[in-house]
Amino acid sequence: MTLRLILTRHAKSSWDDPLQEDHDRILNERGRRSAPAIGGWLKEHGYLPDEVLCSTAARTRETLERLGLPKVDTDFVRRLYHAPSDVMMDVLKGATGKTVLMIGHNPGIADFADRLLAKAPAHPQFIRYPTCATLVAEFPENEWRAVRFHTARAVDFVVPRDLID
């Protein structure tokens, strides 16, 4: 049995209001195009979660909504807001689904993705993990609490620019 993680950084957010709190920033036009493209890619490849763990920030919530995926059990987790990789791992270990979508922020999500994998994908944007970048990884475990860093296998990786101009 394997467990699958879909790890998505939020789509591009707006900086139009310099007085707005960071937690409350929404997506900009590019982000509003990128999230549905990633959602379509996930559906096309059959990468559908049965559980979602999402940061509480407005831009992660909007990214989730615009992915357009079927509704599943979703937890909005404050600890995922700008979380470092160790916190992201701790949150993941509490998951219950077999395929979990986690939506978070850089720089933590890039470090988390890198630390999860036994071998990084060859994609030139993997280390940078740009907005809406999405990794699909599998762990050789039956329970999330048993997963460890450097044990996952990269199944797929995509960034919005691979799908749209």
Map out the domains of the chain as residue ranges. Answer: 3-163
The CA-atom distances, in angstroms, between 33 and each of 8, 62, 151, 164 are 15, 12, 33, 8
Supply the CATH classification number for the domain 3-163: 3.40.50.1240
What is the C-alpha separation between 153 and 155, in angstroms, rounded? 6
Closest CA to 41 of 75, 10, 68: 68
Per-residue pLDDT of 32-75, as tens digits, reads 999 999 999 999 999 999 999 999 999 999 999 999 999 999 99
Per-residue pLDDT of 82-125, as tens digits, reads 999 999 999 999 999 999 999 999 999 999 999 999 999 999 99
